[in-house]
Amino acid sequence: MEAYSDFSRVYDMFMDNIPYEEWCTYLTGLLREYGVEDGLVLELGCGTGSMTELLAGQGYDMIGIDNASLMLQKAMEKKAASGYDILYLLQDMREFELYGTVRAVVSVCDSINYVTEEEDLLEVFRLVNNYLDPHGVFIFDLNTVYKYENLLGDNTIAENREEGSFIWENEYDSDTGLNVYELTLFIPEGEGLYRKYEEIHYQQAYTLETIQNLLVQAGMEFVTAYDAFTYEAPKEDSERIYVIAREKGKQQM
């Protein structure tokens, strides 16, 4: 089953604990630190457009790509409400296409972890390098191996609200690095009735060394990595990291 099909209708509700504004401040700071003050920016795995909207509000000309049509429907509703001139494309990040290059590519909320095969991730990185301006910036976050092993692991996360409930069961394979989420939703349908929905999500844990190697293989320049929301190097117990890379190979005009 396609990830984020049924979950898309309640995604924003259950993700309201994510401080998107703070994340945007951090991400915008990174973009500006690496020379991207304005211009065209692509977000891979944009989901319902929460971060895309915030970046548009910071003055960037945004393109959002996601492969979940229902998530993009929510994003289009936000676009209609805000009036931002955002281009949303229903595409798989493993084979996305643009009409030209962009100043920066960003990807947050562990969207990169959803690419579960190294050869597919290599192709994503190659495409990013292809569609970046000369020396353009690629910034993305990742859930770490530590987080999967020690915090998600085989744990179950559950939440019950009037608007709906969910049970999120995790199963992590330390040999393959694959984390399987079995998601069960109970959404009210009126008059005390609830409809049950089930989805399965897959995420891959990648070491920073693997990410660096794949970036180099894709022709990019690995710049640095940070413990999320800091400017410090990743630690053994970092739960999320940010990676910064640059386009390499194009000639500056």
Residue range 191-205, pLDDT digits in tens: 778 888 888 889 999
- The overall average pLDDT reported for the chain is 91
DSSP for 214-241?
A: HHHHTT-EEEEEEETTSSSPP-TT-SEE
Pick from 7-21, 117-131, 216-230: least confident: 7-21
Residue boundaries of the structural domains of the chain = 6-143+206-246, 147-204
Pick from 96-100, 218-222, 247-251: least confident: 247-251
Section 225-237 average pLDDT: 97
Strand 164-173's sheet: what is its strand order?
Answer: 156-161, 164-173, 178-190, 193-204
Q: How confident is the model at residue 9 (pLDDT cuts 50, 70, 90)?
A: low
Spatial neighbors of 51 by CB under 8 A, at least 6 apart, are 20, 23, 24, 27, 43, 106, 108, 109
99: alpha, beta or left, given left = phi > 0 and alpha = psi -120 to 50? alpha
- Given this structure, which CATH class describes domain 147-204? mainly beta
For the domain covering 6-143+206-246, report its CATH number.
3.40.50.150
Section 31-47 average pLDDT: 97
Q: How confident is the model at residue 1 (pLDDT cuts 50, 70, 90)?
A: very low
Is a pLDDT exceeding 70 seen at residue 212? yes
